[in-house]
A and B are shown apart, each in its own frame.
Chain A
Amino acid sequence: MTGTVDWSILWTGTTGRSLVDALILTCEISFISWILAMALGLLIGVLRESPWRMARVFSAAYVEVFRNIPLLVQLFFIYFLFPRILPRPVANVLFDLGWEIVAAVITLSLYSSAKIAEHVRSGYNTIGQKLRQAAASSGLSWWQVQRHVMLGLLLRTIAPSLTSEFVTIFKGSSLAMVVGVMETTYVTRQIGTETFQWLPTNVYATTVYLVCAWMIAGVMLVIEKKIHVAGRIGS
């Protein structure tokens, strides 16, 4: 053992303070990205089943692009290239807002929305064609069928996948450290480098990710039970 291990850095002084801030930032980034990813993922997934060829092609291409490029590469890509295609004033507003955080949220949302879109597609397969055909033959438009008949069933069917996507986003938010977002892993490394207290900081970060993953799973289990409809497959 080289040097002494000082556990108190986890709760005292500026280091303790920045670890708390980092945890809050990790949670904020993950939660916002998850909400955005669900909205986008549902939209893209529903478009995949639409009667319009262009929409189906777009949705398929979207999924393939975001699935086949590593998250870290996407983050760099968006971080460096996005401000360049925007008009200067808009880009400046983004920089003032803290572009690295916005870039991380955009990247995580896009990446996960592609995976959620795939879950939506398999949700459609699980529910099957008959219900949609019945709804359509009762005079509902395509959009009404999706909105009033399919949406609720889809969300129930893919609820477990949405949970695991949330955990994946939570883990993925650690990669935002590379563009300088001061989330949990970033601060862990920062304190480790400055004080050489790698053991306490790593134990802290590990605990944070484990406890949060289990909490997400626990909360989602309660929600899944609450929205459960007896007798539905996959619900």
Chain B
Amino acid sequence: MDAFPHLFLALLQYNLTLTLGAVAIALPISCFCAVARLSSIKLIAYPMRAYVNVLRSLPLVLVMFWIYMVLPIINGISVSAFWSALVALALFEIAYFTEIVRSGIQSVSVNQWSAGVASGLSRYQALRHIIIPQALRRMTPALLMQTLIAFQDSTISSIIGVPEILHVTTITNAREQDPVTLYILLAVTFFVLCYLASQSVNSLERRYRQKLGY
């Protein structure tokens, strides 16, 4: 139990930072990617589709290996474990967020498009002022849930040596030889945080559904 403050600090300093950092990078980029993915120009849409499909088929740890191990070999740029994990997580989340944003955009009725364009807006203006605001509200719960998954996935960065909570637990266990207490503590910490967060997202979704009636 003495280890708990230590573990919690690692959680805040690394897991939370990694998650929020990755989401902050991925969210704006994935909005552009989703629009690109829906583009009628195949030269733009196909590469986006390929990106999403490839990244969603790979394990996150392998993406981390690419940046942490292979990048320095190819061009001599050496990236620290933390930044490798952050970039890998961001690249990974871009793929998942893009799909969420895309289905959010597609869930807005096509009549809304037509109405917008008929009232004299350009396609971009209709997207910006009519489609995106509605889509954003619909996809918020899914985006938050995906953020929660990213938070859980941040533990994978321990494999390349980021001193996040799982890593600290393993090290502490090697010293104190008390896996029962330590791993129960670790599991309970994640359960409590993620359970509370996912319940809040669920209630948010229910409120949206009632308000917007979809």
- Residues of chain A contacted by B204 (CB below 8 angstroms): none
Contact check, A174 vs B194: say whether CB atoms are below 8 A apart. no
- Residues of chain A contacted by B156 (CB below 8 angstroms): 72, 175
Find the B residue at minimum CB distance from A197. B73
- Residues of chain A contacted by B158 (CB below 8 angstroms): 72, 178
Interface string of A204-235 (1 = CB under 8 A from B): 01100110011000000000000000000000
B142: min CB distance to chain A, Å: 14
Q: Is B41 at the interface (CB under 8 A from chain A)? A: no
Report the contact-size class of chain B (Cβ under 8 Å from the partner). Answer: 35 or more
- Residues of chain A contacted by B54 (CB below 8 angstroms): 210
A1-B74, A68-B191, A202-B66 known; A174 and B61 CB under 8 Å? yes
Measured in the bound complex, the distance between the Cα atoms of B44 and A205 in whole Å is 28
Interface centre among B170, B191, B195 (most CB of A within 10 A): B191
- Residues of chain B contacted by A188 (CB below 8 angstroms): 62, 65
Contact check, B62 vs A202: say whether CB atoms are below 8 A apart. yes
Contact check, A70 vs B155: say whether CB atoms are below 8 A apart. yes
A2-B76, A68-B191, A174-B61 known; A76 and B166 CB under 8 Å? yes
Q: Is B205 at the interface (CB under 8 A from chain A)? A: no
Measured in the bound complex, the distance between the Cα atoms of B184 and A122 in whole Å is 31
Contact check, A80 vs B183: say whether CB atoms are below 8 A apart. yes
Find the A residue at minimum CB distance from B149. A70
Q: Is A199 at the interface (CB under 8 A from chain B)? A: yes
Contact check, A171 vs B69: say whether CB atoms are below 8 A apart. no
Measured in the bound complex, the distance between the Cα atoms of B170 and A84 in whole Å is 18
Measured in the bound complex, the distance between the Cα atoms of B169 and A74 in whole Å is 13
- Residues of chain A contacted by B210 (CB below 8 angstroms): none
Measured in the bound complex, the distance between the Cα atoms of B187 and A68 in whole Å is 9
- Residues of chain B contacted by A76 (CB below 8 angstroms): 166, 169-170, 183, 186
Q: Is B179 at the interface (CB under 8 A from chain A)? A: yes
Contact check, B190 vs A69: say whether CB atoms are below 8 A apart. yes
- Residues of chain B contacted by A3 (CB below 8 angstroms): 73
Q: Is A198 at the interface (CB under 8 A from chain B)? A: yes
Find the A residue at minimum CB distance from B180. A81
Contact check, B190 vs A70: say whether CB atoms are below 8 A apart. yes
Contact check, B179 vs A185: say whether CB atoms are below 8 A apart. no
Interface string of B149-160 (1 = CB under 8 A from A): 000110110110
CB interface residues, B 184-200, toward A, < 8 Å: 184, 186-187, 190-191, 194-195, 198
A68: min CB distance to chain B, Å: 4
A to B CB contacts below 8 Å, 6 in the list: A2-B76, A171-B60, A175-B156, A198-B65, A199-B73, A205-B62
- Beyond A73-B190, A76-B186, A214-B57, 9 extra complex contacts between A and B, CB < 8 Å: A68-B190, A76-B183, A81-B179, A177-B159, A192-B65, A198-B69, A202-B62, A209-B58, A210-B54
Residues of A that sit less than 8 Å from B by CB? 1-3, 64-65, 67-74, 76-77, 80-81, 84, 167, 171-172, 174-175, 177-178, 185, 188-189, 192, 196, 198-199, 202, 205-206, 209-210, 213-214
